[in-house]
Amino acid sequence: MRIPALDERLPLPEARRALRSWRRTRPFWAGLLLVLGGLELLVVPLSPLTILVSLGLGGIAAIGIGLALVAAGLFLWFLPHTRHYVSINALILSVLSFAATNLGGFLVGMALGIAGSAMGFGWTPKEEATGRVPNVRTQRTLAAALPLALLATLGGQRVEQVPQPGPVTAPAVPPTVTTTRFAPNGFLLAGVTTVPTAHGPLKVMVLKMNSASLTDYRLATRDGHDELALGASSLDLSGHVTLYLTKFSGCLEGLLCITFDPDTLPVPPIVPPFVFMTDVTAEQALVTSDSIVANGLTLGAS
């Protein structure tokens, strides 16, 4: 007599089959780890009110970060096409929880968040028999909820209208800027626009911030004629700083290296205000700032 397989003896076979099919089309386990990590961070702060008051800002931060990690896990489940941007934000928050909360939920919540973020970022959709990746419908309005919630919790700024550079003409070939550390204050990717050049309009992405500090700053022209090289041990920009770039790459928190251009901006184009980047390389069309202070300035020509 044939013994039924365990799968056949369990109840609700059709529901379990549908769940398996749904689970295999998204980073399910990554989302589960983020949800568990967020819930773990919420355990202590959601104790009685007297305990929460005694915890102070650490307890409040744990609630905000915990809820954000839970939301990130839900985004990976229901909007898997946002996995890269959501995973980056979740990773930053997980690392931040070590200092901002009770040691990242005594390391457990932080570890779950980091593991879930890594799994979500590295997940790729399973290809169909035709060899094409299933199309996932873009829902930009829902995708905006997580980072906007993070900005509200952590004091970020709202996205403003993309600024226009005015009548200034940018070089046809943007110079290359490198810096070992880029530390902005109130940094956000404001969108995409065009700037005028001698060879016609140039598509650029717009980075806005209140101020920024650049270490080991280097700028080199790339027009093929008389090339100039400008350097400074440090460069400090302050007051309505706006960068117009055709390319921007670097390592978030010195850990996760990414590259952006006007055609591959994350959705939505916002990053948390506390982020810093290392090993930055950018192609800079224009820059505007109320104040620019350079230390150890050098200038060379070839």
The DSSP secondary structure of 23-51, one letter per residue, reads HTTTTHHHHHHHHHHHHHHHHTTTS-HHH
Does one domain contain both 24 and 106? yes
Does one domain contain both 35 and 117? yes
Does one domain contain both 193 and 293? yes
Does one domain contain both 78 and 192? no
Q: How far apart are CA 152 and CA 143, in angstroms?
A: 15
Q: How far apart are CA 242 and CA 288, in angstroms?
A: 5
- Closest by Cα among 63, 83, 40, 87 to 152: 63
Q: Decide if 169 is inside a domain.
A: no
Q: How far apart are CA 21 and CA 14, in angstroms?
A: 11
The string of pLDDT tens digits covering residues 198-257 is: 888 889 988 888 889 999 999 988 666 667 888 999 999 998 899 999 998 888 777 778
The string of pLDDT tens digits covering residues 23-48 is: 888 999 999 999 999 998 887 665 55
- Find the helix or strand (DSSP H, E) in which 181 lies: strand 176-185
Q: Higher model confidence: residue 73 or residue 142?
A: 73
Which residue, 154, 188, 217, sits at the end of a domain? Answer: 154
Does one domain contain both 288 and 183? yes
Give the pLDDT band (50/70/90) at residue 57.
low
Contact 179, 218 (CB under 8 A): yes
Does one domain contain both 195 and 107? no
Does one domain contain both 150 and 19? yes
The string of pLDDT tens digits covering residues 79-128 is: 888 888 889 889 888 888 887 777 777 888 889 999 999 999 889 886 54
167-186: average pLDDT: 85
Q: Decide if 7 is inside a domain.
A: no
Q: Where in the sequence is the domain holding 120, given as residue range(s)?
A: 12-128+138-154
Q: What are phi and psi of 160, to 5 degrees?
A: -100, 175
What count of other Cβ atoms lies within 10 Å of the Cβ of residue 232? 21
Q: How far apart are CA 24 and CA 26, in angstroms?
A: 6
Looking at residue 107, the DSSP 8-state letter turns out to be T
Q: Decide if 133 is inside a domain.
A: no
Does one domain contain both 33 and 117? yes
Q: How far apart are the first and last CA of the chain?
A: 88
Q: Decide if 120 is inside a domain.
A: yes
Rg (CA), the chain: 23
Q: Decide if 258 is inside a domain.
A: yes
Q: Higher model confidence: residue 140 or residue 203?
A: 203
Q: How far apart are CA 275 and CA 273, in angstroms?
A: 6
Q: Which of 166-170, 233-237, 295-299 shows the lowest per-residue confidence on average (mean pLDDT)?
A: 166-170
Does one domain contain both 200 and 283? yes
**Side chain identity at 55, as an amino acid letter?**
L
Q: Decide if 233 is inside a domain.
A: yes
Q: Decide if 277 is inside a domain.
A: yes
What count of other Cβ atoms lies within 10 Å of the Cβ of residue 39? 18
Q: Decide if 2 is inside a domain.
A: no
Task: Please list, in sequence order, all residues whose beta carbon lies within 8 angstroms of the beta carbon of residue 267, skipping any fewer than 6 positions away.
Answer: 82, 85, 138, 140, 143
Average pLDDT score over the chain: 77
Q: Give the total number of structural domains in the chain.
A: 2
Contact 110, 104 (CB under 8 A): yes
Does one domain contain both 207 and 254? yes
Does one domain contain both 182 and 147? no
Does one domain contain both 193 and 149? no
Residue in the block written with tokens 């099919």:
21
Max mean pLDDT range (4-8, 29-33, 153-157): 29-33
